[in-house]
Amino acid sequence: MIVCFDIGGTAIKGAVAYSAEDVRPFPRQPTPIDDFDAFVDILKEVIGQADGRPDCVALSITGIIEPDTQRAVVANVPCIHGRPLQADLEAALGLPVLVANDADCFVLAEAGAGAGRGHHVVFGVILGTGVGGGLVVGGRLINAEGGFAGEWGHGPIAATEAGHPPVHLPRFQCGCGQKGCIDPICSARGMERLHHHLHDETLTSEDIVRAWERGDTRAARTMEVYVDVIASPLALVANVTGCTIMPVGGGLSNATALLAEIDRALRQRILRKFDRPLLVKAQCEIEPGLIGAAVLGLSYRSG
């Protein structure tokens, strides 16, 4: 048995897990973002409700662990930002602690209990407020020691021409400090930015998708260009990792027709040919952070 947590800037979700399919949540509690002692007290309170001493504690965080320093980078929870979080929590809790990024926990959940079950190489794709991802090979997270593997949304690789006929695209500024990343053009906000660039019209990503599904010609052009931009970097990810499934989470994953279009374009651009969808909607839609943290902790117990 392990105790797992999904740590957000607003709430802490805790659960006891006996398997990836048997995760029993406790009521969520507000995150004490500026008080580390209060943060630890909440973890202790949840651990105290477990039936016995857990084998370990596993956390999903909205940030990363720097692989060289093992310090947490979690901007929305200042009390843990900059800390050697694993070491500090192990000292405070008296238990082994594992920490992983929320996108990594997402792909762990999909590999262990979702669309990636039975696949040796699973690449999880986040398409929402941001573009991110994570990689699991043989049931193990590549970022087990922290790091940035799977962050395919960053790097100046976005196309400067896309669509049929081609249209010129600017290299939009990214929050990571670079220009031309996938994140500022293929996230939900990026889709809105792209639509405005093409048509000088401001719509939400939800409105763009709905208009496209109704047959609106301007929205259709936006989606054509969007799919052309996103399919190539995803194809590169598939070729480099050898993944055989790419579960998608985040707000844009709810647009099933969009996923089907991206998958069609993606499979035309990869070396290995599949007669089934490669890019699919994630199956762990409820509490993927907790499920992923549970899989992380359970792998520690079995390893």
pLDDT in tens, 100-119: 999 999 999 999 999 999 99
pLDDT band at 43 (very low <50, low <70, confident <90, very high): very high
pLDDT band at 300 (very low <50, low <70, confident <90, very high): confident
CATH number at residue 277: 3.30.420.40
| Rounded to 5°, angle at Cα 283 from 280 and 289 | 115
Q: Are residues 150 and 249 in the same domain?
A: yes
Q: Are residues 121 and 197 in the same domain?
A: yes
Position 16 in a domain: yes
pLDDT band at 20 (very low <50, low <70, confident <90, very high): confident
| pLDDT of amino acid 156 | 95
Higher pLDDT, 144 or 138: 138
Q: Are residues 252 and 153 in the same domain?
A: yes
Q: Which residues contact 302 (CB under 8 A, 6 or more apart)?
A: none
| pLDDT of amino acid 299 | 82
Give the chain's domain count: 2
Q: Are residues 126 and 223 in the same domain?
A: yes
Q: Are residues 96 and 186 in the same domain?
A: no
pLDDT band at 303 (very low <50, low <70, confident <90, very high): low
| pLDDT of amino acid 302 | 57
For the segment 255-277, the average pLDDT, to the nearest whole number, is 97
Q: Are residues 60 and 152 in the same domain?
A: no
Position 29 in a domain: yes
Q: Are residues 87 and 159 in the same domain?
A: no
Q: Are residues 231 and 258 in the same domain?
A: yes
Position 110 in a domain: no
Position 111 in a domain: no
To 10 degrees, the CA torsion angle through 195, 197, 199, 202?
60
For the segment 31-58, the average pLDDT, to the nearest whole number, is 95
Position 112 in a domain: no
Position 31 in a domain: yes
Q: Are residues 274 and 297 in the same domain?
A: no
pLDDT band at 285 (very low <50, low <70, confident <90, very high): confident
pLDDT band at 145 (very low <50, low <70, confident <90, very high): confident
Q: Are residues 166 and 237 in the same domain?
A: yes
Q: Are residues 232 and 250 in the same domain?
A: yes
pLDDT digits (tens, 9 = 90+) for 158-216: 999 999 999 999 999 999 899 999 999 999 999 999 999 999 999 999 999 999 999 99
Domain residues for the domain of 74 are: 2-105+286-302
Q: Are residues 98 and 187 in the same domain?
A: no
Among all chains, which residue has been given the structure tokens 């190539």? 232
